Amino acid sequence: MVATLDSISMRAKMVVEGYIIGQHRSPYHGFSVEFAEHRSYEPGDEIRHIDWKLYGKTNRLYVKRYEEETNLRAHLILDTSKSMAYTSGGVSKLEYGSYLLAALSYLMIRQQDAAGVVLFDENIRSFIPPKSIPSHLNTLLNTLDIDSPGEDTRIEPVLHEMAERIKKRGLVIIISDLFDDPENIMNGLKHFRHGKQEVILFHILDRNELEFDFNTRTKFVDMESGEEITTDPWHVKNEYKNLIKGLQDYYRSECRLNLIDYVPLFTDDSLDKGLSEYFNKRQKLG
């Protein structure tokens, strides 16, 4: 577990810092909050918030507490169902989603936003509420030590449950291959919007799930139901590709109507693409 945590932490740090260097700007500046009072220093608090003048007078460590301890509360919701384990040879959708979630968590906490993580399949498996203290990042990354995918996908009830559990307005990020009924998924997403949450939907697919690049007679197995079908791919390729494109168009259209940011990503895309979408959203939120 420690090795996995170190690996995910290092990957998240390298992705975020590389992204910042590439952008020639830092998102870690420009967020201001008003000073309210002092509170006792706790392990994990940033040293730069210690009031050293007060320490000189009292010989005790206090940190400055602000009217808003964080600028933004974000819930990052990751689909860990069986279908997310698919890979055509590179990184699986689940691994890619985990790396994206880790990088987003790293970026948020570094800029003093509060990040929380939810893992689900047909039910919620883990729920780590948002916090902004630096030590919370290890808690989030430790949650990503996923040995194997979960059960089948049931997205809508999970989204409804989370929409009810999240009381404070903020940002909700969903990372999934969306292999469930599209209308039901949109109903769940609309529930967040009804609660005045801002929403980013990352639609994760393997490139082969779009291109359907199979050249010989192939047996296809549903990773969740176990159903099998053997066919010559060229018989169904065009129909399949149109189906996937239609699915993306549906989400794109419905999300636009409901003021949800829809972001299709492939597992061979740079994680910078996902970070850019989040950063653009963060700037709009102020």
What CA–CA distance (Å, rounded) separates 62 from 23?
36
Per residue in 241-273, pLDDT (tens digit) is 788 899 999 999 999 999 999 999 999 999 999
Q: Which residue's structure tokens are 């570094």?
A: 110
Question: Which helix H or strand E contains 78, and what residues bound it?
Answer: strand 73-79
Of the candidates 256, 205, 164, 242, which has an alpha carbon nearest to the alpha carbon of residue 79? 205
What CA–CA distance (Å, rounded) separates 80 from 101?
12
User: What's at 17, amino acid-wise?
Assistant: E
pLDDT (tens place) for every residue of the chain, 286 residues total? 333 445 788 888 888 888 777 664 544 443 444 445 667 877 777 787 788 888 888 888 877 765 444 479 999 999 999 999 999 888 999 999 999 999 999 999 988 899 999 999 999 999 999 999 999 999 999 898 776 666 787 899 999 999 999 999 999 999 999 999 999 999 999 999 999 999 999 999 999 888 756 565 555 555 555 566 655 555 566 777 788 899 999 999 999 999 999 999 999 999 999 999 998 898 888 6
- What are the structural domains of the chain? 35-66 (no CATH), 73-285 (3.40.50.410)
What CA–CA distance (Å, rounded) separates 95 from 101?
10
Cβ-in-10-Å burial (0-12, 13-18, 19+) of 208 comes to middle
**Residue 26 CA to its chain's centroid (Å):** 20
3-state SS, residue 249: helix
